[in-house]
């Protein structure tokens, strides 16, 4: 009985320690979700769309990648990696994608993948239809 109580207490302490960064991430995510703005601009001489992404969460995201996947009417798709690395609070990512990439695209998907505090794999994908 004593062994069981000891194990349960150790388990509850560990659970508390493990849940703490997750709680911080979820509450931060609800208050300040990822901020993505798109503006038309000039990308190295061609017209393009500038993506401005700001990570607002207090809890860092390790091994993060931000992808933009474009799906075309012929069924083909192109994946653009906008960011790769660790995301810290107020980290801002700028990436310009030439406008011709969006021609004939029927759908684009924003995907953010990473490890919350290096512990929990997380993925959020936003699917947007064009037209």
In whole angstroms, the minimum distance from the beta carbon of 8 to another protein comes to 6
CA distance 127 to 67: 12
- Beta-strand ranges (E) seen in the chain are 35-43, 46-55, 61-72, 77-87, 91-98, 105-116, 120-129
In whole angstroms, the minimum distance from the beta carbon of 15 to another protein comes to 5
Q: Which is nearer to another protein, 3 or 75 (CB)?
A: 3
Interface positions with another protein (CB under 8 A): 1, 3-4, 7-8, 10-12, 14-15, 18-19, 22, 26, 29-30, 119-129
Q: Which is nearer to another protein, 4 or 45 (CB)?
A: 4
In whole angstroms, the minimum distance from the beta carbon of 129 to another protein comes to 7
Q: List C-alpha distances in Å: 35 to 54, 79, 100.
A: 5, 20, 24
């Amino acid at each position: 009985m004593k062994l069981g109580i000891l194990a349960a207490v150790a388990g509850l302490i560990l659970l508390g320690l493990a849940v703490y960064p997750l709680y911080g991430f979820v509450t931060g995510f609800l208050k300040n979700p990822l901020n993505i703005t798109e503006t038309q601009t000039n990308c190295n001489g061609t017209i393009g769309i500038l993506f401005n992404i700001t990570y607002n969460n207090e809890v860092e995201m390790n091994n993060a990648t931000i992808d933009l996947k474009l799906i075309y009417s012929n069924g083909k798709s192109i994946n653009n990696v906008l960011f790769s690395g660790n995301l810290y609070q107020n980290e801002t990512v700028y990436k310009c994608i030439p406008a011709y990439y969006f021609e004939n695209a029927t759908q684009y998907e924003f995907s953010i993948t990473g490890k919350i505090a290096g512990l929990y794999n997380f993925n959020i994908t936003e699917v947007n239809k064009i037209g």
